[in-house]
A and B are shown apart, each in its own frame.
Chain A
Amino acid sequence: MAELHPEPIVPVRIYTWVFLALLVLAALTTAFAYVDLGIFNTLIAMLIATCKMLLVALFFMHLRYKAGLSRVASIVGLFWLGLLVVFTLADVFTRNWTPQGKPW
């Protein structure tokens, strides 16, 4: 059913703090790239990117202030992408678990 209350107007101060946080995170992720931490480089980079994504989505895109359906749409999109990635990688990574099949 339709909401009868228009969504709240987010104050400028919140947008400003979010923006500054985003700049800091961007600088952080750039800095980390100059340090060789092996597998953790990718992990940290993705973690920071996800934090930035959440800041933009929750505050700039107002997901924090909205009813469920918009959140459901975004979560479903991400989950479905996850499906594609996980199942594809599951194939790619298990191909070498069996030796090449003998001819029929």
Chain B
Amino acid sequence: MSTAVVERPLYNPVNYLNVKHTLKSWLLTTDHKRIALLYLGSITMLFFVGGFAAMLMRLNLLEPAGAIVHPETYNKLFTMHGIVMVWFFLIPSIPTTLGNFLIPIMVGARDLAFPKLNLLSWYIFIFGSAFTLYALVSGGVDTGWTFYTPLSSLYVTTHVMAAAAGVFITGFSSILTGLNFIVTVHKMRAPGMTWFRLPLFVWSMYATSVIFVLATPVLAITLLLIGLERGLHVGIFDPALGGDPILFQHLFWFYSHPAVYIMILPGMGVVSELVAAFSRKRVFGYKAIGFSSMAIALFGFFVWGHHMFVSGQSVYAGMVFSALSFAVAIPSAIKVFNWTATLYKGSISFDAPMLYALGFIGLFTIGGLTGLFLAALSVDVHVHDTYFVIAHFHYIMVGGAVMAYLGGIHFWWPKITGKLYPDVWARLAAVIIFVGFNLTFFPQYLLGYLGMPRRYAMYPAEFQMLNVMSTAGASILGLGYLLPLVYLIWSLRYGPDAGPNPFLATGLEWEETQSPPTTHNFEEIPVVTQDAYAYENMGIPNV
């Protein structure tokens, strides 16, 4: 396709970052790349807010009688930790940063289908997080992030409405982002970019977007119903007035279970890219991984009742949900097998992104397997609402999703910023995070199995050692998270220029754009003639 090869500086001199410097050009931008960075800044701040709440919780749990906060405060801490981490960090994380930045480039377009809607999504997100932060500073919420009724609708006096309003508003940000991605992938692919030539990251973002648009509206109406009950004291969910509290749980989990797939699918997409790039191999079973992403999105909607096995749901419904929950593990397992097969006989290098990807595969597998334990109705009766559940979902959300997020940020950092980060520090941080993570959360499996309940500010003395281990791990984990903040920002000023493709990876973002890209991504829309992951043509990088 290219004829003349032009000598260009490694660092693209006129790019989307420096094309205009005014605050207005950033706050009114419709460039998907700038919007991605606006989100990156926002969710990083919110991550540390949620992390701060976790730190206080873990410090409190150093002592069986609660070390530093009152039980009422502890309830507020775990609620805010959950709300902020789920809705204001994990759900937006990869989609709004890496998704926004990469999807148009990966499909070969100049921008998303609806750039102004994209900017609106960010403003809605900011507005929603403002409400939630207001709830936080004005005294907090203590219902748990799950807002179960009738506690949330009739009994507590904390700022449920503000927090629920924040989540409600932010939901629209999700819906619009998902809508934008779906239309972009369908309608804006470059000539020759067939569905089966797309990077697997796009497939998983597409599946995630389908969940965004189908699940989030149900959460929205559920939050409105809480507001209605709180405002009018009518018996929508209050048994004393004829309502059914389990109905709330059905509506809530119809969204919130697929929401966990929103949180993990993008990470799986990132891992597919990382595993290929750092094994120098095509992804094994491209179609299997692509279709399994769609299968996870679909099956994920059939299993929500597994959160309600002991709530009073009918046993027969419980059995059906249990069987379906086993089924939903299958597509995830297919992915793990395919990534492993990709690694086999690959030319593996242990760059920081690869360390995160390998960590993901191991930790996600453990988390996923413990999910199967929970899916078994009889086992769940014993471990529901214990630390076993907490360990399970943190293995997936933190050991899985957050590690994939960090791996992706590192991998695409040279493309986004034009700079290389110091790989030694990056690898060190990855290892510290891995060690800290396991020390924090593995003891929680044991605690849960031994019977320590979740959402309790205090615990029987025999659990202290494991809790202390967990808190020690959390300190290490916290340090691990601070390191990238430091060296990534350092690299912006002092890092070496990356050039367009430092990892010699495949994909339109690496092969057809500069680092950082220009505002319109490509001068001409590329014509795609080969499959994704043609690593046999790429050689070995020397980064």
A and B touch in the complex (CB under 8 A): yes
CB distance from B418 to the nearest CB of A (A): 34
Q: Which of these, A77, A88, A94, contacts B250 with CB under 8 Å?
A: A88
Give Cα A69 to B182, complex, Å.
11
Tell me, yes or no, whether A90 is within 8 Å of chain B by CB.
Answer: yes
Residue pair B305, A77 in contact (C-beta under 8 Å): no
Give Cα A83 to B254, complex, Å.
9
Chain A residues with Cβ below 8 Å from B314 are 90-95, 97-98
A to B contact number (C-beta, < 8 Å): 47
Residue pair B315, A98 in contact (C-beta under 8 Å): yes
Q: Which residues between 77 and 104 of chain A lie within 8 Å of chain B, taking CB atoms?
A: 77, 80, 83-84, 87-88, 90-95, 97-98
Tell me, yes or no, whether A76 is within 8 Å of chain B by CB.
Answer: yes
Q: Which of these, B187, B247, B301, B302, contacts A2 with CB under 8 Å?
A: B187
Residue pair B254, A91 in contact (C-beta under 8 Å): no
The 5 A-B residue pairs with the shortest CB-CB distance in the complex, in nearest-first order: A91-B317, A94-B314, A95-B314, A94-B316, A88-B250
Chain B residues with Cβ below 8 Å from A87 are 250, 302, 304-305, 317
Of the candidates A77, A83, A95, A98, the one having the most CB atoms from chain B within 10 angstroms of its own CB is A95
Tell me, yes or no, whether B491 is within 8 Å of chain A by CB.
Answer: no
Per the CB 8 Å criterion, the residue count for chain A at the interface is 17
Q: A83-B301, A84-B254 are in contact. Are A77 and B316 (CB under 8 A)?
A: no
Q: Which of these, A69, A80, A91, contacts B301 with CB under 8 Å?
A: A80
Give Cα A76 to B313, complex, Å.
27
Q: Which residue of A lies closest to B186 (CB)?
A: A69
Residue pair A95, B313 in contact (C-beta under 8 Å): yes
CB-defined A-B contacts under 8 Å, sample of 23: A2-B187, A76-B214, A80-B214, A83-B301, A83-B302, A84-B218, A84-B250, A87-B302, A87-B305, A88-B251, A91-B246, A91-B305, A91-B317, A92-B247, A92-B314, A93-B314, A94-B314, A94-B316, A94-B317, A95-B312, A95-B313, A97-B314, A98-B316
Give Cα A80 to B314, complex, Å.
22
Chain A residues with Cβ below 8 Å from B304 are 87
Report A's interface with B, CB cutoff 8 A.
2, 69, 76-77, 80, 83-84, 87-88, 90-95, 97-98
Give Cα A91 to B214, complex, Å.
21
CB distance from B175 to the nearest CB of A (A): 12
Chain B residues with Cβ below 8 Å from A97 are 314-316
Tell me, yes or no, whether B234 is within 8 Å of chain A by CB.
Answer: no
Give Cα A69 to B185, complex, Å.
13
Chain A residues with Cβ below 8 Å from B369 are none
Q: What is the predominant secondary structure among interface residues of chain A facing chain B?
A: helix
Give Cα A93 to B315, complex, Å.
11
Chain A residues with Cβ below 8 Å from B244 are 92
Q: Which residue of B lies closest to A101 (CB)?
A: B315
Residue pair A77, B214 in contact (C-beta under 8 Å): yes
Give Cα A32 to B314, complex, Å.
36
Q: Which residues between 179 and 222 of chain B lie within 8 Å of chain A, taking CB atoms?
A: 186-187, 214, 218
Chain A residues with Cβ below 8 Å from B251 are 84, 88
Q: Which of these, B186, B187, B218, B250, contacts A91 with CB under 8 Å?
A: B250
CB distance from B320 to the nearest CB of A (A): 7
Chain A residues with Cβ below 8 Å from B214 are 76-77, 80
CB distance from A103 to the nearest CB of B (A): 13
Chain A residues with Cβ below 8 Å from B247 are 88, 92
CB distance from A91 to the nearest CB of B (A): 4
Q: Which residues between 270 and 324 of chain B lie within 8 Å of chain A, taking CB atoms?
A: 301-302, 304-305, 312-317, 320
Give Cα A95 to B315, complex, Å.
7
Q: Which residue of B lies closest to A96 (CB)?
A: B314
Residue pair B301, A90 in contact (C-beta under 8 Å): no
Q: A76-B214, A77-B214 are in contact. Are A90 and B320 (CB under 8 A)?
A: yes
Give Cα A94 to B312, complex, Å.
11
CB distance from A30 to the nearest CB of B (A): 28
Give Cα A99 to B162, complex, Å.
41
